[in-house]
Amino acid sequence: MNANEVQNTRHAIVIGAGLAGSAACHRLTLRGWHVTLIERHHDIAQEASGNAAGIYMPVLSRDDNRTSQLARSAYRFALQCWEQLGGIGTAFSGAACGVLQVPRDAQRVALQQKFARQANFPADYAQWLDQAAASEKAGVTVNSGGWWFPQGGWVHPYSLCQALLKACGDRLETRFGHAVSTLTQADGNWQVCDQLGAVIASAPVVIFANGMSALTFSQAAGLPLTAHRGQVTLLAEQLAPPSKIVLCGDGYLTPATQGFCSVGASYDAFDDAQLRSDSQHENLMRLKLLLPDWQVDPASVPLAGRVGFRCVATDRLPLVGALPDVMKQPDRATMHGEPQLKDMPRLPGLYGLLGYASRGLIWAPLAAELLAATLNDEALPIASELAAALDPARFQLKVLRQHKKAHS
């Protein structure tokens, strides 16, 4: 099915009701699409999007690399999207309280101070504060100066997903408690089936927004995604430093909500879904390094929190767009010169919104907008070279180019 036929049909299935899937539903229904959202759990945001609080902030780099350019666009678009929903703290839970990011050691502090003198960021985007100003902003002594992001803050992901899906109106149909097992093609549509082979829904477009679970499908099994365990510690408010902003260093601390602060998050290679005391100890020790006057003994803190698994691509950027057909080789007869993304075989009608790692809050709105614009044959919201950096076929293209170079 070509792009015009897809646009005329304007019906998509989204698999996964976390931040990625909820944002996809929102951006597509805004354009008049009918969307069927399928979720294996009986509620939204039950996996990587299920933490009590997620932080959002820009990503800075001294060379303004591709990741920081993309993250800057994503951050600004997320703020715009949330304002259109009704605003943080109104349409969904959270606070634009500001984020203070403190470098991990003296060497990095010196590098960031030099960078700050050369950079020319708008004051409402990023400011460098010395230790005294940073501590005053935080309301607690921090170990060095740091970057202040006035528009940053924290969000309750569940309530954000709720707000996004509520805004979809009657163009959204939901199927909770349905575990998708297979996808098959029939009459130009993809049939999404359960373990018994029963068809849950059928549409010309299917969007994988289900994190690591996407790899259980043969159509997405070749994508270079890995799971990284993340344990967040819930620290009782009376034990936490009295900060009203988000503090961020090697780890992070959110302001208290419902009696607890979130402290996180571990980054583990193992797959233990249970809370671990060693992961909590690491979280709290990172907090002590950030806040030298915080005197609570980590060993005395009750084990509490949540474990989730981040979906991470090998280059740590999201996968946004049409999925490659890894079983097919490009038609070399149609290629002229170095292989390009347009030469890569695709699975017609299958798309991905995957690999958001630790930045789902800011990646989700822009990634969904990029995919929706593509499906609707509109101008892209970011430069084409930045969009290409998110293309799910970029990994196969790299291999193809290396192979061609080795045999030229």
Identify the CATH number of the domain in which residue 131 sits.
3.30.9.10
End-to-end C-alpha distance for the chain, whole angstroms: 35
pLDDT category of residue 407 using cuts at 50, 70 and 90: low
As a residue count, the chain comes to 408
Question: 175: which 2 tokens?
Answer: 């199927």
Q: How far is CA 171 from CA 11, 144, 165, in A?
A: 10, 50, 10
Mean pLDDT of 105-110: 92
Number of domains in the chain: 2
pLDDT for res 6: 58
pLDDT for res 404: 66
Helix (H) or strand (E) segment spanning residue 225 = strand 225-236
Helix (H) or strand (E) segment spanning residue 22 = helix 19-29
Judge whether 100 lies within some domain: yes
Residue type, 359: R
Which parts of 348-393 fold into alpha helices (H)?
360-375, 384-388
Q: Where are the beta strands (DSSP E) in 156-195?
A: 172-176, 182-186, 189-193
Closest CA to 318 of 73, 38, 148: 73
Q: In the predicted model, is pLDDT for residue 217 greater than 80?
A: yes
* Other Cβ atoms closer than 10 A to 248: 20
pLDDT category of residue 145 using cuts at 50, 70 and 90: very high
Query: Of 75-84, 95-104, 334-343, 399-408, which range is least confident?
Result: 399-408
The string of DSSP letters for 235-279 reads: EEGGGS---SSEEESSSEEPPPBTTEEEEE---BSS---S--HHH
pLDDT category of residue 362 using cuts at 50, 70 and 90: very high
Judge whether 54 lies within some domain: no
Closest CA to 202 of 44, 21, 9: 9
Mean pLDDT of 143-161: 97
Judge whether 81 lies within some domain: no
Phi, psi of 304 (to 5 degrees): -155, 145
CA gyration radius, the chain: 22
Residues 307 and 230 in one domain: yes
Mean pLDDT of 190-211: 98
Q: Is the full-model pTM beyond 0.85?
A: yes
Query: Of 94-98, 102-106, 130-134, 151-155, which range is least confident?
Result: 102-106
Separation CA 323–CA 349 (nearest Å): 9
Judge whether 11 lies within some domain: yes
pLDDT for res 228: 96
pLDDT category of residue 405 using cuts at 50, 70 and 90: low
Using the CB atoms, write b or e for 189-223: b if 16+ within 10 Å.
bbbbbeeeeeebbbbbbbbbbbbbbbbebebbebb
Which structural domain, as residue segments, surrounds residue 402? 3-49+159-224+314-406
Residues 145 and 233 in one domain: yes
| Tens digits of residue pLDDT in 59-104 | 999 999 999 999 999 999 999 999 999 999 999 999 999 999 999 8
Q: In the predicted model, is pLDDT for residue 3 greater than 60?
A: no
Question: How buried is residue 374: exposed, middle or buried, by Cβ count under 10 Å (0-12/13-18/19+)?
Answer: middle
Judge whether 88 lies within some domain: no
Question: 136: which 2 tokens?
Answer: 């005053």
Residues 335 and 386 in one domain: yes
Residues 194 and 254 in one domain: no
pLDDT for res 9: 78
pLDDT for res 2: 52
Judge whether 69 lies within some domain: no
Q: Is 218 left (phi over 0), alpha (psi -120 to 50) or beta?
A: alpha
Residues 307 and 318 in one domain: no
Residues 325 and 358 in one domain: yes
pLDDT category of residue 35 using cuts at 50, 70 and 90: very high
Residues 232 and 306 in one domain: yes
Percent of the chain with pLDDT over 90: 87
Q: How far is CA 200 from CA 36, 176, 194, 213, in A?
A: 10, 11, 7, 17
Question: How buried is residue 41: exposed, middle or buried, by Cβ count under 10 Å (0-12/13-18/19+)?
Answer: middle
Cα–chain-centroid distance for residue 10? 25
Closest CA to 364 of 94, 161, 203: 161
Residues 343 and 194 in one domain: yes
Judge whether 70 lies within some domain: no
Residue type, 186: A
Residues 400 and 320 in one domain: yes
The DSSP letter of residue 302 is: P
* 391 in Cβ contact with 374 (< 8 Å): no
Question: 46: which 2 tokens?
Answer: 């039950």
Residues 165 and 210 in one domain: yes
pLDDT category of residue 153 using cuts at 50, 70 and 90: very high
Mean pLDDT, rounded, of the chain: 94
Residues 351 and 206 in one domain: yes
pLDDT for res 334: 67
pLDDT for res 403: 67
Closest CA to 21 of 42, 40, 45, 55: 45
The DSSP letter of residue 212 is: G
Residue type, 404: K
Q: In the predicted model, is pLDDT for residue 408 greater than 70?
A: no
pLDDT for res 4: 56
pLDDT for res 5: 58
pLDDT for res 185: 94
Cis-peptide, bond into residue 265, ω within 30° of zero = yes
Q: Choose the final residue of a domain: 266, 295, 311.
A: 311
pLDDT for res 102: 96
| Tens digits of residue pLDDT in 267-299 | 988 889 999 999 999 999 999 999 989 989 999
pLDDT category of residue 182 using cuts at 50, 70 and 90: very high
* 237 in Cβ contact with 34 (< 8 Å): no
pLDDT for res 333: 60
pLDDT for res 212: 97
Q: What 3-state class would DSSP assign to 349? A: strand
